[in-house]
A and B are shown apart, each in its own frame.
Chain A
Amino acid sequence: MFQVHVRTRINGDDTEFSCEADETLLDVLRDRVGLTGAKEGCGTGDCGACSVLVDGRLVCACLMLGAEAEGCDIETVEGMATGAKLHPLQQKFLDHAALQCGVCTPGFLVAAKSLLERNDNPTEEEVRYWLAGNLCRCTGYDKIVRAVLDTAADMRKASKPKPAKAKAKKASAKRRVSA
């Protein structure tokens, strides 16, 4: 079948590949570029195990063609750590035992990273709705949500070197889980 030549940037590396016109970005990442972190759980965009960031946007790689990645900036789970230093989310997932079999974990990490890049103080409800596109069958989501909220709290602390003045928090109807 006719192959398309594509130029992208993946986790910061300039990358070129050829793929068939009907191959998905997920197929390309896994079978051509050697990045098997993103997983195929359903192939129809319902499980989020293939979550990647494309030009900063959270996307199911199984719903995008490899050819559509021309000129795009792609981030996968493999790009989250900096060398041997884990991203805070990765460390928190381990600390909270937020994974059992771990197959959904790359998708959750990418999705959670995307959330925290937009909102550094999500409520439990906001976390749950943002992650509603990622299926997990092992954990029941409890420890995953705790890990994300805990990461957010840590990241807020780390970005505020001076102790913040105590602010009266608005009484919120949404339930919060203490970190």
Chain B
Amino acid sequence: MNVQPDNKSMKRDFDIVGKRTARPDGIDKVTGRARFGADMSMPGMLWGLVLRSPHAHAKIRRIDTSAAEKLNGVHAIVTSKDFGPCDDSLLDIRENVMAREKALYDGHAVAAVAAVSKSVARQALKLIKVDYQVLPHVTDVDEAMKPDAPVINDKLFTKGLDKTPKKPSNIAERFEFGHGDVEKGFKEADLVIERTFRTAATHQGYIEPHACVASMGADGRGEMWVCTQGHFMVRNTCAGLLGIDVSNLRVTASEIGGGFGGKTTVFIEPVALALSLKANRPVKMVMSREEVLRASGPTSSSSIDVKIGMKKDGTITAGDATLRYQGGAFPGSAVPYGAMACFAPYDLKNVRAIGWDVITNRPKQAAYRAPGAPMGAYAIESVIDELCRELKLDPLDVRLKNASTDGSKASYGPNFGVIGLKATLEAARNHPHWKAKLGKNQGRGVACGFWFNFGGETSVSLNVNVDGTVGLSVGTPDIGGSRASIGNMAAEELGIPYDKVRCIIADTASLGYNDVTDGSRVTFASGMAAIQAARDAIGKLCERAAKIWGIPADAVVWEKGHARPASPNAGKHEPLSLADIAAQAGATGGPIAGHCEINAEGAGVSFATHMVDTEVDPETGHVKILRYTVFQDAGKAVHPSYVEGQFQGGAVQGIGWALNEEYIYGKDGRLQNPGFLDYRIPVCSDLPMIDTVIIEVPNPGHPYGVRGVGETSIVPPLAAISNSVSDAAGVRMTRLPMSPPNVLKALGRI
């Protein structure tokens, strides 16, 4: 038996990994047959709707549901009373999912009904009487930090300070990272630039709203169909909130119409279960787009101060940043990750990043693709760009000069392993885009970006079928085409054709625990687990071949999809294919399967450089993207089409964030633009083709060298576009989005 015990990366030629294979869900998705969250129905199903607060901040004095209960067709109404005690770690989620004493933001869920039809449910909502006492609110991050700001949670005392304050405030926590002596570093600089930047809150913008069908029985057992990035997370969280055993809830992940981090938590799912429990019937809930924008989990708005010092020769001598993020009405914004990631592309002796986590009367934030990093990168990369211009230095050369490299100390502490940042910068410098001519009112910008990527708990089950095909069950919902990549890896390892492997997402009852699909971890972690499960199966297949041949198990090797004797000493035996052995599985000992349950570690970080040309119309302030190129390190591109897709998708979300998307709150604290017309994400006609260059610096921590790619691609665009627009407009842009009115303001035209 010859199975590679060493999990570490080996350089090798691949037969299937790297090929653009057909995805298993493809036909279903182009024919409309694929079932997403809202495409499921169950017999006896009711429709659930949520009543939401129209106030940004209000005490809920009384909720009167009596009239609604009497309406014909209404079967259940729930409020916070229906959510009993739970673990401390779930308290914030419990309150976000259903308001308790206070409504904390415009759109906060206050009650929910289940009725025989959507129209009866809508009527029932109108009959629920809520007695609010409106309170002063605050929605801006800097306003919320002022000493006289309305205090949203009088039990919140700032953590992370030398002394815990005596008075509550809206400042949840202070973070600090860095090393060296920034003041000393600034003294060594020839030029120091200090700037303040502001970004608006944005939403992940997935086209599919949150949707689920929940079915709880009177015996406390239930099942749920839900679009989510983590059905195991949904199971555990909902079980915790409803006070039932985890094993009593079986959750199936539907196809998911986009997540980007926004579906790594729960919003309507516990409510649907509570309604179903009360009504003793299945309940379907689908958020409207307005609800998604008002009451799911957008990312933070931010206010960031940056100070960087540079020598005439381009050496960065010190970098100091203070990031203030508001994460909605609960602590836990992504400011620590922003503070950790913002200086990561640079090898600095003196660096400090301070992050302030602030609460406001806004929806509870959720992760959005490299959470916290895009805003930090925007601020730091803008100042570096300005320093380069002032000192008349080439922006790519300066970045190369200061670039983090293998073994250098990251700004957030640990030393880097093998990384590909310089490779992306060099690819950028050598690309024709860098030398293309620019016209009037046109400018070019570059920026670097970084994301950690990680692994996490992963369980995979690989079953060999009697006809030699293989069923691969994974537990990480497929949000980007990962089933194809994982299938590639399993087929590669087994040495069988790709189309003999069928990869599915199994439900929570059928596999060990899986962390959510996030952190760009699926191709890495589920892939690694699939490879290990394949190796496990290969071991068993070799044992069966040995039995069939009557030789010792360690005299059998696996090569190109066949078991063969390890050497002539083992005897003359024709190789047995996987199909041959599978056909005899029953006779040789029973079903053949491979498993892997791991906490996948060793994820490799991913760096990128983006280059963009824009044209600014000085009359209207409109910014047009002329040309965009992404250079990103993928370690090993298992399925190049989907790696390119991640590069392009992240870049375009960044374009939207940079140019147009923003949450607009009125003086009354209500969201003014909860729809796709006025919360305007990029449309087809806004954009050119997005060119991609895949760099491959293998990650030593993965058998095939894979690095996660899904998140890094959203980190550089805000800065790259801002640098480009600043170049085109001749003025430094310090506010996002760079929508036409904001550009005209920056140009001094309005």
Contacts and interface: CB of A to CB of B under 8 A. Distances in A.
A93 B30 contact: yes
Given A100-B481, A109-B30, A137-B207, A47 B676 contact: yes
Interface stretch (B298-306, B467-475, B645-653): B645-653
Nearest to A87: B30
A102 B257 contact: yes
A81 B28 CA distance: 12
Contacts of B118: 27
A99 B255 CA distance: 13
Contact of A41 (B204, B289, B644, B652): B289
B25 A102 contact: yes
B684 A102 contact: no
Interface string A13-51: 000000010100001001100011111111110110100
Interface residues of B, number: 59
A20 B119 contact: yes
Interface string A122-147: 00010111011111111111111110
Interface in A60-110: 76-78, 80-81, 86, 90, 93-94, 96-97, 99-106, 109
Given A1-B119, A138-B649, A37 B676 contact: no
Contact of A139 (B25, B27, B649, B685): B649
B703 interface: no
Contact of A105 (B22, B29, B649, B685): B29
B31 interface: yes
Contacts of B644: 97, 143
Main secondary structure on A side of the interface with B: loop
A136 B207 contact: yes
B457 to A, nearest CB: 24
A134 B676 CA distance: 11
Nearest to A31: B41
Interface in B32-48: 32-36, 38-39, 41
B581 interface: no
A105 B30 contact: yes
Contact of B207 (A31, A47, A90, A175): A47
A101 B289 contact: no
A138 B31 contact: no
Interface residues of A, number: 61
A74 to B, nearest CB: 13
Given A80-B31, A142-B689, A135 B649 contact: no
Given A102-B34, A140-B648, A46 B684 contact: no
A132 B33 CA distance: 25
Contacts of A128: 684-685, 687
B208 A139 contact: no
B480 interface: yes
A135 B257 contact: no
A20 B73 CA distance: 15
Contacts of A173: none
Contacts of B25: 102
A122 B255 CA distance: 33
A111 to B, nearest CB: 10
Contact of A40 (B23, B38, B641): B38
A177 interface: yes
B675 A42 contact: yes
A36 B213 CA distance: 15
B684 A131 contact: yes
A46 B119 CA distance: 23
Given A40-B38, A94-B22, A97-B481, A137 B32 contact: no
Given A94-B30, A101-B208, 4 more contacts: A41-B676, A86-B30, A135-B683, A141-B652
Interface of B: 20, 22-23, 25-27, 29-36, 38-39, 41, 117-119, 204-209, 255-260, 286, 288-289, 479-481, 641-642, 644-645, 648-649, 651-653, 675-677, 681-685, 687-690
10 contacts: A31-B41, A41-B257, A44-B676, A49-B207, A100-B642, A101-B479, A129-B684, A131-B684, A132-B685, A135-B681
